[in-house]
Amino acid sequence: MTTNTSAVPHLRRGVANPVATASLLILLVAAATIAGAWFFQLVLDIQPCPLCLEQRYAYYALIPLSALIAIGAMRGGPRGVLLVGLVLLALAALANAALGTYHAGVEWGFWKGPTDCTGPVGNLGSAGSLLERLDTVKVVRCDEVQWRFLGISLAGYNVLISLSMAAIAAWGIGSSFKKS
């Protein structure tokens, strides 16, 4: 009878390449998260507010950067460069967690949000076309939650996911130092 550690040799010695593992995990989490955001928008018709769209920018940066770091780690790239890459991933994820926290605070009414998504609607054109324009305008407000699960909004889940990605990057950094 074989155990998992004897059947899969890399389990015996731990993770062989923590930088590659961490960056691949971040790549998977970021890609799944942005795919989920697009699913909510395109399939479920839950339109993003301006703050939601800004939170996606971090994912658009994390996906290619984590892929580059993973490729570099698997090809034996310079350790210092790879670790700087993981630090950048962690910082981007932490910044996105801060933006998500701000957005969640706006949703809960802890503070005011930006006027472009929490203020009154303006600039609707001439009075003659006002009714036509009002029929076509769909304002997505940052301070109104469109969807919650277990009492947490999508902005709240973004905070949790971003903190998880930062923790994965920190694990990769720490594990690479333990390995040396």
> What pLDDT, on the 0 to 100 scale, is given for residue 109?
74
Q: Containing domain of residue 67, as a range?
A: 16-114+135-179
125 belongs to a structural domain: no
Band (pLDDT 50/70/90 cuts) for residue 6 is very low
171: CATH: 1.20.1550.10
Task: Give the model confidence (pLDDT) of 14-63 as tens digits.
Answer: 468 999 999 999 999 999 999 999 998 899 888 888 888 899 999 999 99
129 belongs to a structural domain: no
> What pLDDT, on the 0 to 100 scale, is given for residue 10?
41
169 belongs to a structural domain: yes
- Averaged pLDDT for residues 103-130: 67
Strand (E) or helix (H) holding 153 = strand 152-153
Tell me the whole-structure pTM to 2 decimals: 0.76
What is the end-to-end Cα distance of the chain in Å, rounded? 33
Tell me if 117 sits within 8 A of 51, measured CB to CB.
yes
Tell me if 118 sits within 8 A of 157, measured CB to CB.
no
Q: What is the DSSP letter of 148?
A: E
The pair phi, psi for residue 170, each rounded to 5°, is -65, -40
The Cα–Cα gap between 65 and 82 comes to: 11
105 belongs to a structural domain: yes
Task: Give the model confidence (pLDDT) of 118-157 as tens digits.
Answer: 655 555 555 566 666 555 556 676 677 676 678 768 788 9
The answer to whether the Cα torsion of 104, 109, 115, 116 is positive or negative is positive
The answer, yes or no, to whether residue 103 has pLDDT greater than 90, is no
> What pLDDT, on the 0 to 100 scale, is given for residue 13?
44
50 belongs to a structural domain: yes
> What pLDDT, on the 0 to 100 scale, is given for residue 122?
53
What's the structural domain count of the chain?
Answer: 1
